[in-house]
Amino acid sequence: MRALLLPALLVLGATPGTAKAPAPPRLLSQTGLYAAPGVVAARNLAYAPQYPLWTDGAAKARWIHLPAAIDGRDEAGWVFPVGTKAWKEFAFGGRKVETRLLWKTGPATWVFATYAWNEAQTEAVLVPEGGQPDAAEVAPGLRHTIPSRSDCRDCHGREKVEVLGFTALQLSPDRDAGALHAEPLRPGMVTLKELAARGLLRGARPDLASRPPRIEAPPAARTALGYLMSNCATCHRGDRPIPGLDLDLRPAHALRTALGPGSFPVPGQPESRLLSPGHPERSALLHRMASRGAIAQMPPLGSVRVDQAAVEHIRRWIAGMAPLPSH
Ligand code: HEC
Ligand code: HEC
């Protein structure tokens, strides 16, 4: 009985869009990232998004391989060529811990993989589907968990997979000087200008590089909205809503949708809202960012430490807003 049932269950349980995807290689060195041990191949372009995801203070390095030009006609939804690979390396305390891979293997198929680095820091090995707890210490007593493939898709998408840090806004040369935890642009890193110059971006508006995208808002709001975009809007977005929630933390929607009461009141704050202008202490958004471990934690996965710099920034931003007339 069991032998008959099992294959059927496996098929039912398969994630949509992954059925025909090839398996990722077993070793990071087989993915095309390096030309020789420790030497990144010249065809892989280094870049740094202006609004990074915060992962317990991990130092991150990123590369992308584009076998052909990106179709940039939709500025907010670039279409990557089949064969695109993007890598993101995570290091804690100067030691490499994991390198994540996104690989476009067909017009609508992406392979997700992550590789855990060995003690000697010479090679990284494919992590099983379910992820790996206890991969490194990020603070005394707190350990980094390598996410599962399903976790990857919570943020990068299931049916429609998205590259999150290699977008027109993330690569804009009009960078937000206040952006939290942003790595500096180093020589050789690509931005919109180099992409266009190398012929790797087709169909974009002609003035994209001279009038690059930016979040139009006063400085503190611009930085806050950029942070919420990368760290929260991967899940909180109106085009892929979480059932029962109205919160949309993409820059153009955050301030409107965050004014609602929400379903998670801040303990001890009867006038709690998702975001209460002028009142950080009544704002569930801030309360949940500043929580870890308990059910209140936001984001619910991907970090075990509170992002203090972000909490302080968002607190000041909310405190500086004019309170609503009724509050
Ligand atoms: C909590 C949300 C979240 C989870 C979980 C997550 N990612 Fe990401 N990932 C992001 C964001 C946001 C970026 C872009 C910002 C950055 O690079 O810091 C990103 C960037 C990347 C990149 C660089 C290309 C890109 O999309 O910008 C790769 C590769 C990647 N992730 C792979 C993975 C894999 C594989 C997993 C699962 C093992 C995973 N990610 C889990 C949010 C997430
Ligand atoms: C990996 C997906 C994911 C990410 C990333 C994420 N959230 Fe959430 N969030 C959820 C889910 C799922 C819920 C609903 C369940 C719950 O309330 O715990 C939720 C609920 C919330 C709520 C309550 C909404 C309501 O209507 O009551 C707030 C506020 C919130 N998140 C804020 C944030 C903030 C701020 C960030 C970024 C710092 C963030 N979230 C990042 C998945 C995510």
pLDDT tens digits, 225-272? 999 999 999 999 999 999 999 999 999 999 999 988 899 999 999 999
pLDDT tens digits, 103-120? 999 999 999 999 999 999
pLDDT tens digits, 191-218? 999 999 999 999 999 999 889 999 999 9
Report the 10 Å Cβ neighbour count for 83.
Answer: 14
What pLDDT score was predicted for residue 325?
A: 82
Which ligand 2 atom sits closest to the C-alpha of 231? 37
What pLDDT score was predicted for residue 12?
A: 40
Q: Does pLDDT of 18 surpass 60?
A: no
What pLDDT score was predicted for residue 8?
A: 37
**Ligand 1 pocket, residue 301 CB under 6 Å:** yes
**Ligand 1 pocket, residue 166 CB under 6 Å:** yes
Question: Which residue among 153, 237, 245 is best mutated to probe the pocket of ligand 2, counting the most ligand atoms within 8 A of its Cβ?
Answer: 245
The residue-averaged pLDDT of 94-108 equals 97
The residue-averaged pLDDT of 137-148 equals 95
pLDDT bracket for residue 294 (50, 70, 90): confident
Give residues with Cβ within 8 angstroms of 11, minimum separation 6: none
**Ligand 2 pocket, residue 299 CB under 6 Å:** yes
d(CA 83, CA 68): 8
What pLDDT score was predicted for residue 237?
A: 96
**Ligand 1 pocket, residue 233 CB under 6 Å:** no
Tokens, residue 59: 């130092």
What pLDDT score was predicted for residue 313?
A: 98
**Ligand 2 pocket, residue 155 CB under 6 Å:** yes
Q: Does pLDDT of 11 surpass 60?
A: no
Which ligand 1 atom sits closest to the C-alpha of 303? 1
pLDDT bracket for residue 20 (50, 70, 90): low
The residue-averaged pLDDT of 44-64 equals 98
d(CA 183, CA 240): 29
**Ligand 2 pocket, residue 233 CB under 6 Å:** no
What pLDDT score was predicted for residue 327?
A: 54
| 16 φ/ψ angles, rounded to the nearest 5 degrees | -60, 145
Query: First-to-last CA distance in the chain?
Result: 63
Q: Quick one: which ligand is closest to 164's CA?
A: 1
What pLDDT score was predicted for residue 19?
A: 53
d(CA 249, CA 253): 6
Give residues with Cβ within 8 angstroms of 265, minimum separation 6: 272, 284
| R_g of the chain, CA atoms, integer Å | 21
Mean pLDDT of the chain: 92
Q: Measured in angstroms, how far is the CA atom of residue 85 from the centroid of ligand 2?
A: 29
What pLDDT score was predicted for residue 6?
A: 38
Tokens, residue 27: 């070793």
Q: Does pLDDT of 13 surpass 60?
A: no
How much of the chain exceeds pLDDT 90, in percent? 89
Q: Does pLDDT of 298 surpass 60?
A: yes
**Ligand 1 pocket, residue 152 CB under 6 Å:** yes
What pLDDT score was predicted for residue 2?
A: 36
What pLDDT score was predicted for residue 57?
A: 96
